[in-house]
Amino acid sequence: MHSIATSQWANYVNRYTQVTKVDLVRKMRKAARLTKFRSPVQHAYITTTPPLNTTTQENRTMGSFSDSLSGRHTIDIPGNGITQPGIDAISCFLRLMDISLPNDWQWVWQVGGKGEYVGTLPKRIGKYAHKCKHKLLPEALSYIGNLGMQHCEKTETYDFEFVDKFDWNAGDFGDQGSCFWSCHKSAKDILLDNGAGAICFYHPETNDGYARAWIVPLSDSAKNKCFIVFNGYGIDTLPIARILATYLGHAYYQKIGLTNKGGHDGDLYINGGRGYLIGPQDIVKESHSIDLDWDEPNGLRCEKCGDRVDEDDCCLLPDGDTACETCYRNKVSFCQTCQEDCWREDERLDPNGDCICCNCHEDSVSWCGVCEEEYWNDDGKTDDAGRTLCEECYNKQNPVML
């Protein structure tokens, strides 16, 4: 029988006797270090090949959305990320000890590979705190670990599509509160004019939309394409950035300050003046704020054909959207009763042969059961059988005796 005390390698002889758990774990760790062992776990499963293309044009500052991202895809992401409530809880706890994590902190449970901050979340936070001259007690690290585990995301399947047309209604993708469909409608035109697009999410079971965010393709060269994600609805912008980064091959991502023409509350309203930059780590880590510097569009866009219209020549559709004169004439009629515009598909003819909207028709016109013609409600009469007839049919049944 060989004991551990007789030799450092006692348990590596061919008789494998008296192997202790401590000895086995110690040597497995050494073997892992010597072989640069990496976890064989696949961290994402994509059912389609990422369509990220490179361009031959060098020194390009703005990419074409459809050239970079297109189509509909499904991706499974294991629960390594920390949810927003967990991030808020841990950040609040650390602030009690005057510790603030950097903007590019990776809010995931485990970080593998090599780097300054690798390992589990509490281990990485403890190392960062030590670097900042703070010492976290084991009880504090345990509490952080418990918070992280309680708020660790489960494996999720995401069905999403990249689009460069914003033709959905407010609320179709969880964005019923977005000002881009109300007081900041021109923001969609600014996005389109500058090659931006959107990522839209669907429920896999029902195919109903439930989330979206805007995406701006950027590149300082053909090989270093980056993307900005902002204004997430239905899902917070951070998880959307993580999903897109995984789809692009685990690209690096970081929160940045995001403005347009020096502000975030202009026509292109940027929620919180923040977004996420996704791309190669060496580029993203050096970027802390970006100003898009996009000009406001000249004129307004026709919501039906997409053409630009001078503000003086712009027409308003019944739903409040803008339209060119041609689309307005093709789509809109005028009600002679309420004196309001109505859709042509909703127009009706009144007893005089004039066009009226369907609401006025329903409120003002009835149908005679005898002659099967329409008449004004005010001209109707009720016979002895309780039927309401037009005046002509009623007089025929009830002639006036002279």
- Residue 17: per-residue pLDDT: 45
Residue 175: closest CA among 240, 228, 226, 227? 240
Residue ranges of domains in the chain = 4-34, 65-75+155-291, 79-150, 335-402
CB 198 within 8 A of CB 214: yes
Strands annotated E in 113-177: 119-120, 156-163
Q: Which sign does the torsion angle of CA 70, 76, 80, 84 carry?
A: positive
What's the predicted TM-score (pTM) here?
0.50
What residue has token string 């499974």? 76
Q: Which residue type does 126 have?
A: G
**10-residue block means of pLDDT along the chain (402 residues)?**
39 45 62 48 36 30 68 84 90 92 88 77 91 88 86 85 94 93 85 94 95 89 76 93 83 89 91 93 86 82 76 86 89 90 88 87 84 82 78 77 46
- Residue 351: per-residue pLDDT: 83
CATH number belonging to domain 335-402: 3.30.60
Cα end-to-end span (Å), the chain: 135
Instruction: Determine the 3-state secondary structure of 8 from DSSP.
Output: coil
Q: Please, how many CA atoms are within 13 Å of residue 375, restricted to the half-sphere of its CB? A: 19
CA–CA separation, 396 and 366 (whole Å): 18
CA–CA separation, 291 and 262 (whole Å): 6
